[in-house]
Every structure is written in C-alpha cells, then in structure tokens.
Structure 1
Amino acid sequence: MSEPTDYISDLTTAPIFDDAIYLSEALGASESQSEDDLDARLVSTARESGIDDPYRLLCPDTHDTATSLSTLTVASGSRSSVSIHSRETQSTSITSHPSRTSKDNPYMDSMPALRTLPPPLPPSRGSSCFERYDTVLDRFRPTSVRHTPSSSIFSGTAVMSRSCAPPTSTPQKLKRKSGLFSMFKKDTRTCASRSHHGHHANPLNPRLACGHSLSKYAIRVHIQEALESVERFAPSCCGTPLPRSVLETVLTKEETDNVTAAPVEFPLFSSLRDSGYSEDGLCSVDLSQALSKLSHSNGSFVTAPDSPSQALILADKELLEMAFADKAFTTLRAQQKEQFQRVSIFESNQRTSLAAYHQWALKRLLSKLEENKVESMKQHAIVLERLDESQIVAEHDLRESHAQETQNVATALKYMEAYCSGSKLTNPDTAHTITEEDRNKLARQYVIQKKLPAKHESAINVLRARQEMNVKTKMQKQQAELEQLTTNYGMEKQAEEWQYMQDSDRLEVLIEARRRRVIHRWDLKFEIWRRGWESQHKTTLNGRLPHEEWPRNAHVNGPLDSSGLLALYSQGMA
C-alpha cells in the first residue's frame, strides 16, 4: 500500500464543494466573478433588451412565492383542499371550531369578501394560438404553477392555501346549529361540478337559470372541467350550457367562440350530495397535473378544421421554424449544450472525487489499524521480554539466597554437634555441662537441614507461578488492547461511511441548486434572444422555445483537468 503524500494527507472535501472551483472549471468564469455577478450582468442585458422584470425568469421560485404571498390577503377566497380531514369539519360539538364551509359560520356571514376570489392575474404575453388548449387554459391557470420546459426537473412547491384569522375586536358567542336538523334541509346543489364544493358565491355575481350564482373562479373551474372531460362537452352547469355573457367574463371573445364550438354532451350527474368539506375542491396541484396530462393529448375539440385558429397555429408554426433556423438561436443552443456538458462532467468529477476521497479515507483507517497493531505487538513483545528478564534475575537471586541459607544451617549444625559432644571448637580446655535442651536443639537443627532443599524448591515454584500469572495477565491486557484497536477502527469506519452519505446528499442538493440557477439563466438568455428577434422581425413569437436537455447519463465520463484541484483526488488517492 502506497504511503499518501503530504498534500493528500492534509486534503479535505472542502475543494469539492468550493464555489470558486465550480465557477472556474464548470462555468468558465474568472476568479473575481461570482454567480451573483453573472446574474447581475445578465439582468442588465435583459433590461436593455426591454424585459422589465428579468428576475421573474432568473428567480421564478422567489418571484412566485412573493406574488402568492402578496395576493393572499384577508379578503382572499382561496381554499385548501389538501387538509380535508382536519378538525375544522361540521360537528355538533360546541367545543370544535366552525367549519370553513359551514353556512352558520359567523365570520363567513360577516365577511362577504371571503366568499369571492380575486380576479386572475393577466397573462404576461398575449397569444392567439390554441395549440393543445394551452392558451385557453392559461387564462385561468394559476401563476404559481407555470413552468418552463427546462425547469421541469426541479419543480418548486407553491403556496397551497392560507387560513383567515377571525376578527378579535368584538367577541362573539359561537352558536352552532345542530347537524341533526341540517339533514332535513332541501339541498338545491345538484351540480356535480367542483366549483360548488367549499366556495360560496357572491350575491353580485349573475345568477343562472339553475339557481347557481357563479363567481369567476367557478366559471374557470367549469371551463377547466369541460376541457379535461373525455366526453368533450361544452362548459355547463346543472345540464345547461353557460351563456356567452358568463364565459366572456373570464375569456376573450375569440376564446369563447372556440370553447362553445364543442358538441354539447353532458356527463352523468353524481347521485351523492356535496358534503360541504371540499373533498373535490380544486387546488393548484390538481390543476397543474390536469394541464400536464392535457398538454400531451392529440385530440382537440376547441378548434374546428376550418376555423381561423387553425390558420393561426399554422402561421405560428412557420414563424417558430423560421426563428429556430436563426443563426443566433442555433449558436445559443450550441452554447447551452456545451455548458450543460461541461457542468455535467464537472458534477461527475465531483462525485468521483468524493468517492475517491472516501475510499482513501477507508484505506487510511485500515492502514492506521495495521500500523497500530504492529506497533502494539512490538511493544507487547518488549514487555513480555522484560518480564522474562525480571524472572531470570529474581530466580537467580533466590537461588543465591538459598545457597547462603544452606551454608548457614550447615555451619550452625557443626558447632552444635561439637558442643554436644563435649568439646568446643573455640576453647577446648573449658569444661561445660550438656543439658537435655541442648540435645533437643541439635535434633531440631538436623530437621531444618533435612527440610531445607524442599523449602528452596517450593520457593522457586512459587516464584515461577507468580511469573506465569503475571505473563498471562499481561497477555490478556495486550489482546484486549488489540481488540480495542479493531473496535475503534470499526467505529471510525462507520463514522466515515455516515460522513460520506452526508457529503453525498449535500453534494446532490448543491448540484440541484446550481443546475437550477444555470437553467434560469438560460431561460433569461433565450427570452433576451426572443425579444431581439421579435424586435428585428416586427412580430410576436408565440410558443415555447426548445432548450437543450441535460445529458441522460448522470455520471458523464470526462477527463479531469490536470491543472484543477479536483484532479488531486484521482491522482493522489488512486
């Protein structure tokens, strides 16, 4: 296993997430530039080309959120059909909150403005093209759910609903009507349209022959249901087609002609009554999904083959083909494709570098474990060797003491034998009396001399047993240390795996955010080209401009720039 170099051992994952490296290697920007600088320069160019609000395309998520929050006031009549099973339902309990769709809600009675919706925002660009109903649907499509073709990968979530707080100036005692008696009321709502579910009509709205008073929101819902229906029936309420005067409140005259040109076929009415809880209410998510499905439909009942709209579609198609053949447009798409490819290669290099760093970190942990084990085993061998040396020294000293003791016992026995025999080794002329006690001492001395070898052997065995126990204990501790090293390696490896997962998730989020900004900049660039082309040809270009797609392979194989910092991961960690 090759030893890592010094610069690799000090390297972290920070360069992989660095914005400066991304700007220089992926976007080709200079060192002094940032993404905000690129956006500001593009915004300046867009304003020079006549785009009043370039941030609408450059930052659509922020723009749509701000627009939604600005339009959702206390007088807003928006309703949420997502939380239909919340606690705000019709209940006979006086402790529950009044239903927002209940007729006996005092706040609904005291605030008629809550029953109507604000008029839809006017479309930013007028168009007479009815290709696949997009133009008709754009008249009542929510602004917060419009997407460009290139931003379909990263669809943002819009504000769904806002609840209106009740007034607190004058406290009012809530009196709930019993739900038991409400079942005996005569229900005049026989229309199966979703426009009557959870939305109250304004008394100022025109009343139809069936008795319903449709707001502009309800009219748009009827039109949307008619366009989505399989039977392709004209917009109607309770089996009666909506009058032209009602349709023209939300559509232009030409759009009304095309909508009413459909054959009148009415769906079967539902036998179930409306429960009043907005189960089938219309929300922005449902509408956007329906429009997405409808835009891919091949059939059309809005325009007849001989109608003027067909000629308009043909003219717009020829105009688009002429625009797409423009050299500036093809150059722009080529530049977009090149940048997408370059960014994708950089993203692949980021993933490769992060994976290489992860593998290198695992190898480093394993190498560290092996080195620690080898070093520990060396230290353990030295400790055991020192124990053996100390045992040899201790046994040698013990044997010397035993020899000295044997010599001392023999000398004492010699003097005692001479004394008991009646002679003295030191002063033989002096007479002495031998007692019985002297003879007993001599007998004990013989016993001591006889047992002395066994005593010495026992002491040697005790010393060796103690040494063996010490060695065994020391080896157990050494084995525990080695096992602890393995345990620590497992914990560090698990921590590295977790860190790699966190870094991978962080990298994917960063890649998605950077791609979104790139796409928004290209949206604005194409809009700048559109304005210039329209100004040059004195016409209006209707329809969506095609964008280049991101490379399908998420891990595009591309050569790493040898001068870039990301090349260090693949070169030094291989």
Structure 2
Amino acid sequence: MSEPGGDYLADLSTAPIFHDAIYLSEALGLPEGQDEDSVDAHLAMSARESGIEDPYRLLCPDLHDISTSLSTMTVASDLRSSMSIHSRETQSTGITSHPSRTSKDNGYMESTLILRTLPPPSPMRGSTSFECYDTVLDRFRPSARHRPSSSTYSASRANSALSSAPSALPKPIPRKHKRASSLFSMFRKDSGACPSRSHQGHYVNPLSPKLDCGHSLSKYAIRVHIQEALESTEHIAPSCCGTLLPRSMLETVLSKEEADVVMAVPVELPPFSSQRDSGYGEDGISSVDLPHVLDIRSHPIGSFITAPDTSSRDIGHEDEQNLNLALANEAFISLRAQQKEQFERVSSFEANQRKALSAYHQWTLKRLSTKLEKSQAEKTKQHALELERLDESQIVAEHDLRKSHAQETQNVATALKYMEAYCSGASLTNSDIAHTITEDDRKKLARQHVIQEKLPGKHESAINVLRARQEKDGKTKVQKQQAELQQLGTDYESGKREEELRFMKDTSRLDALIEARRGRLIHRWDLKFEMWRRDWESQHSTSLNGRLPHGEWPESTHVEGPLDTSSSLALYSQIMV
C-alpha cells in the first residue's frame, strides 16, 4: 500500500504555510522584492507630505508607547536625582547643612526640563475626544500635593523613587554641601515681593525674558504660574506680581488653543483635592509629579486621536453635515472599497492557510494510520514465516531423535545377542574355543536384558521432553510477536499524540501570526484614513469632526472545503487525493 500523496511529498512540511513571501504576494499583492517595511516607509513618506509629523505613531503604536515610556522613565530618573532644599531637609537625620543653590546644582534640572520637554502639541483637532479646558487642567493639575512628613518616611520615599530609575543610569557624583546659603536669601533684593512658588529657590536662566515686575521666568516657572491660576478660586489668568503674563510667554509651554483657554473668561471649576503627598518635592510640586507633567506633554492631544464613536461627544449640526458630506465623497467611498477588497483578499488567504494546515494534519494522521497498517501486515507475514520455520525445525529435531533411538535399539539388541551366545557356551565367531562362564558374565547378561526392556520408555520420554521444549519455544515466539505488534500500536498512538500537539502549536502560531498581520494592516489603514482626513480638511478649509467609519473584517470562511486552486498552498489539497 502506497502512502497518500505519493513518495514525492514525503518531505512536505508546514513551513510554506507560514512563509511571508506567499502572504506578501497573494494576500497583499506586493511585487517580488518588496515587503511590509518598504510599504510602511513609502506610506510614512506620503503621510509626512500630507502634514502628519509622526506617521509611525499610527503604524507602530506599540513601539511608540514603549519608547515614550522609556523616555518618561529617563526624564523621571533625571529629575528625581536633582533634589530641592526642602527634600534634603526632610531627609536629614542629624547635622545636615543646606546645599547651596548654585548654578551648578540648578542648571542640571533646568537644562533637563529644556532638553527633555517635547515641543508644544500641535493644534487641537476637532476629532479628539477630550475637552480643551479639561485637557489643560489635566496637564497642570497636581496629582498629589505635599504635607509635612517625618524624615524617616521621606527618606524611604526618596529611596523607593530613586530605586525605580533604570540601573543603567550613571550614579550621581556626590556634591560638597556648603553651609546654609538659603539663610542669606532673606537679604536678597525683592526675594519676597511675589508670593508665587515659582521664585522660591529655583534657578533662572539669565537669557529668559523679563517682565515689568523685574522677574525672569523659566518654562518651569511659567508652568507653576499656570497651575496657580487654575487652582485659584478667583479663576484669574496667569500673572506675576499682579501683571498678566504675556501671550507669547504662555505659548512657550502651551499651544495656541490652550493659551486661548487659559486666557479666556473663567468658568466654574471643580475643587481640587486637598490631599497632600508625603513624599519629598520642591515648592509644593512633587518631584515625582514632574515626569508626569512631561509625560502628558509627550503625548500631544491633537495628534491622530479619533473619538471611539461619534456618540461619545456632541457633534453639532454643521459638523454632522460636514461628516456626511465627507462620507459621500467618491474618494472616501473608493478608499473604503479598497479596504474592503484587501480585507476580503487577506481573509481568503487566511482561510487557505487554515485549510492547508488542517489538510496537512489529516494527511499526517492518515500517513501514520497507513504506516501502522503496513507495518502490521508485514509483521504478521514475518511472524507466520517464523512460526513455520520453527515447526519445520522441531519436526526435523524429532526425526533426528527417533533415528538416534532406532540406532540405539539396534545396538542394544546386537549386544544382547552376543552376550546370550557367549553365556550359552557357544561362540558366534569361533565355536571350537572352550571358555568358562562366570557369575559376573551372567549378571552382565541380566543387566543387558533390563536395558533392552527399558529402552522404549526411555525413548518415549526423550520425545516428550523434546516436544515440551518445542512447545515452550513456540509460545515464547508467539508472545514476542504479539509484543512487537503491540509496540507498533504504541508507536502509532505516540505519533498521533505528537501530531495532535504539533497541530495545536501550529494553530496557535498561525492565529498569532494572523492577528499580528491584521494589526499591522489595520494600522496602515488608520494612517491612510488620517491622510485622507487631512487632505479633505485642506481642500475644504474646514475641520472634520467625528469618527470615520472603517471597514469590518468579513466573516471567517469555513475551514472545510477545497483550497483555492490558484493559491500556492493548493499543493496541500493534492496530498489528500
């Protein structure tokens, strides 16, 4: 019996099912030598030409989130390594002098804020699901303020915060502590003129623009003023010494829309929580919260974020008309048709993959079953020959034994004949010679008669022993043959279990591969829809609010049934013939 599929398929495996080349050519229709990375690069280039600054935020959102998290951890570690006077005072457990607030100490934190802070967010798009004012509040709202704490608890908080920094960062060089330079801050000119926390012990860049009141505000100080304005019960615009901060200064840390919100007519705000953090910090702002502020800055609220559904926010009548007009556009309809066509082609390819994997699984099981039947037939035939040869050898052995018995019987009879003639006084060879018969001769003659009488029983016993031994050998042979047949069945069951386990692993691997490929394809289409949105807004000079409907994946094709004959995986349908 020949194996299903023929000998030329003996080396067939599931590797072609997972090959990227077949997926790229059949599912995506890419020419030879082009892969998804090149498609992403070309699409990203087109997206940048459409005005999308960071297209890989949509193409690779997972990698972007990881890189953003690592960047945030780095900023957090750098900021936590720079402690304020107040944090060092809470950590002191003995005679501890105040560190000097020199430019060397403060320049690191200020430069870190300048270098690590990302550019201001792009203008807020109407498609975002966040309200402008709430977004500004979330950016500058302190997650937890401070209350006085014991030195022991503050030290433990500091140690835990510092230990959370990456181990690869270099250890800070210990600074030489000077005597309390903050003691002389009371003699400085205008040190207490402004009650804002932004002027309390923070380094100011000499190149920062000066206000009419004489203060130079760094970006950090501007953020503090904005936070104080948002927290105030009077809801006033950010100011310093009673003078409103100019718009140009606010726009160094805010976008234009956010600056409009901060400087607009105040609205009723919910009260902030009065809970204070027990960790160390600077001027009421937790040093642990500073990375949080920067982290919020690192995610511009207006870039590529679409509302999950139009029902999640109130869309005005004009916005709804614009959205309906955009959805009726031929270019958008064509784009959705292309997406639907590609989804159907990819889904059909995935169905072919599953069918091919199932066909290979069934073919492998059938091969195992065929191999078992073939092995059993061969073993049965071999066992029959072995038993036949054993019977022949046993017959020959019994024949040889009976032949030796006959020869022995003849020899005993001849010896008895000569002894009887001798004891009777006559000689068969020479009768003329006289001899004397002794008693010993008569005993020998008697013993020879006994031997002749017992000889048939002896021969019969020998035959019985031979047959018993042959029967035992036959049973042993049959048991051995049965064990060999059972081992064939055991090997078949073991191979079947291994094949079932391999099929489960391949199925899980294929599911994960399909999910990853679909995710990458969906991200690519997200960017295409965003490019179309940008192009529409540019052509019509309007903002398109609301979520653009995307195509859905078609229902999964039934795995049973023949493979597509035009597919490269059609080979797996031939193995079942």
Per-residue CA deviation, residues 422-471 of structure 1 (Å, 9 max, x unaligned), is 11122222222111221111111001101101110111111112112212
1:465 pairs with 2:468: yes
Cα separation, 1, equivalents of 2:418 and 2:9: 84
- Structure 2 gap ranges (5+): 81-86, 140-163, 177-199, 205-218, 240-244
Rounded Cα–Cα distance in structure 1 between residues aligned with 2:226 and 2:461: 107
Instruction: Find 1:398's aligned residue among 389, 398, 401.
Output: 401
Aligned-pair CA distance for 1:521 = 2.3
The aligned counterpart of 1:492 is: 495
Contact 1:128 1:135 in 2 (8 A): no
Distance in 2 (alpha carbons) for counterparts of 1:539 and 1:202: 47
Matched, 1:39 2:52: no
Task: State the Cα distance separating 1:23 from its structure 2 match.
Answer: 1.8
Map of 2:529 onto structure 1: 526
Cα shift at 1:382 = 1.4
Q: Quote the offset at 1:479 in angstroms.
A: 2.3
Q: CA RMSD in A?
A: 4.9
- How far residue 416 of structure 1 moved from its aligned partner, in angstroms, is 0.8
Distance in 1 (CA, whole Å) between partners of 2:17 and 2:265 is: 55
Distance in 2 (CA, whole Å) between partners of 1:202 and 1:318 is 55
Per-residue CA deviation, residues 85-120 of structure 1 (Å, 9 max, x unaligned), is: xxxxxxxxxxxxxx999855999x997667997545
Determine the structure 2 residue equivalent to 1:211: none
Tell me the residue number matched to 1:255. 261
Partners in 1 of 2:21 and 2:467 — Cα distance? 70
Contact 1:8 1:573 in 2 (8 A): no
Residues 325 and 482 of structure 1: CA distance in aligned 2, closer, same or farther (over 3 Å): same
Q: Aligned-pair distance for 1:380? A: 1.6
Equivalent residue number for residue 4 of structure 2: 4
Q: Is 1:133 aligned to residue 130 of structure 2?
A: yes
How big is each residue's C-alpha offset from its partner over 1:489-538, in whole Å with a ceiling of 9 and x where there is no partner? 23222222222222122212221221122123223322333343344334
> How do 1:164-563 residues align onto structure 2 when only pairs under 5 Å count?
168=171, 170=173, 203=202, 236=231, 240=233, 243-245=236-238, 250=254, 252-256=258-262, 260-261=266-267, 263-266=268-271, 313-551=316-554, 553=556, 560-563=563-566
Paired residue type of 1:5 = G
Q: Which moved more, 1:17-26 or 1:557-566?
A: 557-566
Q: 1:169 to 1:23 in 2, by over 3 A?
A: closer
| Distance (Å, rounded) in 2 between the aligned partners of 1:559 and 1:241 | 75
Deviation, 1:69, is: 4.3
Measured in 2, the distance between the counterparts of 1:461 and 1:440 equals 32
Per the alignment, residue 14 of structure 1 pairs with 15
Larger Rg: 2
Q: Give the residue type in structure 2 aligned to 1:351.
A: R
Hey, what's the Cα distance between the residues in 1 that align with 2:381 and 2:342? 57
Q: 1:558 to 1:364 in 2, by over 3 A?
A: closer
Distance (Å, rounded) in 2 between the aligned partners of 1:555 and 1:412: 95
SS at match of 1:244: coil
Q: Is the 8 A contact 2:356 2:569 kept in 1?
A: yes
CA contact 2:368–2:492 (8 Å) conserved in 1: yes
Q: Does 1:572 align with 2:575?
A: yes
Partner amino acid, structure 1, of 2:399? H
Structure 2: which amino acid aligns with 1:412?
A
- Alignment CA distance shift 1:518-1:482 (3 Å): same
Matches of 2:47 and 2:400 in 1, distance apart?
99
Q: Is the 8 A contact 1:344 1:555 kept in 2?
A: no
2:120 counterpart residue number: 122
Query: In the TM superposition, what is the alpha-carbon distance from 1:352 to its structure 2 partner?
Result: 2.4
2:153 alignment partner in structure 1: none
Maintained 8 Å contact 1:134/1:295 = no
**Secondary structure of 2:130's match?**
helix
- Deviation per CA, 1:344-390: give whole Å up to 9, x if none: 22112212221221222122222222322222222122111111110
Find the aligned partners of 1:63 and 1:101 in 2 and give their Cα distance. 39
TM-fit CA distance, 1:418? 0.8
CA distance in 2 between counterparts of 1:374 and 1:168 reads 76
Residue deviations 1:116-158, cap 9 Å, x none?
Answer: 975455334x23638642555666999xxxxxxxxxxxxxxxx
- Correspondence 1:23 to 2:24: yes
How far the C-alpha of 1:255 sits from its partner, in A, is: 3.2
Residue 170 of structure 1: how far off its partner (Å): 4.5
Cα distance change of structure 1 residues 101 and 441 upon mapping to structure 2, 3 Å threshold: farther
* Letter of the structure 1 residue corresponding to residue 492 of structure 2: Y
Task: Give yes or no for contact 1:534–1:541 (8 Å, CA) kept in 2.
Answer: yes
Query: Deviations for 1:297-319, whole angstroms, at most 9, x for unmatched residues?
Result: 9787xxxxxxxxx89x5444333
Cα distance in 2, alignment partners of residues 3 and 217 from structure 1: 80
Residues 535/267 of structure 1: CA separation in 2 closer, same or farther (3 Å cut): closer
TM-score, structure 2 normalization:
0.67
User: Normalization by structure 1: what TM-score?
Assistant: 0.68
Q: Deviations over 1:176-223 (max 9, x none)?
A: xxxxxxxxxxxxxxxxxxxxxxxxx99579xxxxxxxx9799989999
Structure 1 segment 65-144 matched on structure 2, within 5 A? 65-66=66-67, 68-69=69-70, 72-73=73-74, 103=91, 119=117, 121-124=119-122, 126-127=123-124, 129=126, 132-133=129-130
SS of the residue 2:499 aligns to: helix
CA contact (8 A) 1:25 1:564 kept: yes
What is residue 188 of structure 2 aligned with on the other side? none
Q: Relative to structure 2, which stretch is displaced further, 133-142 or 434-443?
A: 133-142
Q: Counterparts of 1:507 and 1:258 in 2: how far apart (Å)?
A: 55
Equivalent pair of 1:413/1:445 in contact (CA under 8 Å): yes
CA distance in structure 1 between the aligned counterparts of 2:224 and 2:127, rounded to whole angstroms = 19
